[in-house]
Amino acid sequence: MSYPDFIGTLSLKNTEDKQLAYASQLYGTYFNVYCQIELSTDKAKLEAIRLYLINYKGHFDLGLLKDENDNQTVTFDESTGELELNVFVKALSNRNGPEKFVRVPCGSIALDSLKFLTIERQLIPMHSDADGDPIHLRSGVFDSEFFSRDGMGLVRIRQKEEMEVRIKSPGRRCETGRNRLI
C-alpha cells in the first residue's frame, strides 16, 4: 500500500532557513535532518544542499557522514523531477549540530525542473572490521541496530533497508523522507 499524500514541503527560494527534510529515530535517539538550499547567482539553478543533523532526545549522538569513502551520492531523474540524496548517518559521530554540515553539490539543476527531494538514509555501523571480527564486543558500546544478543548469543539483524519492500514517504518507512519542492 502506498501513501502518496504523506509528504513534506521544501521551498527552493528559501536560502536563509534550514528546512526540515527528514526525521527518524535510531538507537533510541530522535533526530532531524535539515536542508539549506544554495542557488546560483542568478537564482535559477540549484547548486548545492547543506545537510545539518540535530539530535533531540536519546543517549547516543548521531552524526552525518558523506559515506565510508567521504563521497556523496546524488541522482536527478529529469523525467520525474526527483532529486535523490543518500544521507549517511552514524552513531558516535561528531558531525552534528547547527554549525556542522555536509555540503552536497547538485550540479546546477534548473529550479523549474525540480519537483521532489527524496532523502534515503543509510545507517553506517558504529564499529566496522573488515575481517568480520565483532569489534563492538570489545569497544564497550553494543551496536543494537545491527546486532541482537542474549547472553553469549549474538545475531546480526537484517536491516529494513536490505528488504525488498520500499515505500517513499516521510512517515511510513523510517529510512526514507520525501518532500515536494516549491
Q: Is residue 45 part of a domain?
A: yes
Which domain covers residue 61, as residue numbers? 8-181
Residue 44 has phi, psi (to 5 degrees) of -105, -15
| Residue where the block lists cell 523522507 | 177
Q: Is residue 2 part of a domain?
A: no
> How are strands ordered across the β-sheet holding 45-57?
19-26, 29-39, 45-57, 102-110
pLDDT at 142 over 60: yes
pLDDT of residue 150: 79
With respect to residue 3, please indicate whether it lies within any of the assigned structural domains: no
Q: How many domains does the chain have?
A: 1
**Does residue 1 lie in a domain region?**
no
Is the pTM value of this prediction over 0.85? Answer: no
Structure confidence by residue, pLDDT tens digits, 99-122 = 888 899 998 999 999 999 999 888
Cα separation, 101 vs 141, in Å, equals: 25
In a domain, 168, yes or no: yes
Cell of 114: 525540480
| CB within 8 Å of 5: residues ≥ 6 apart | none
What is the model's pLDDT at position 169? 44
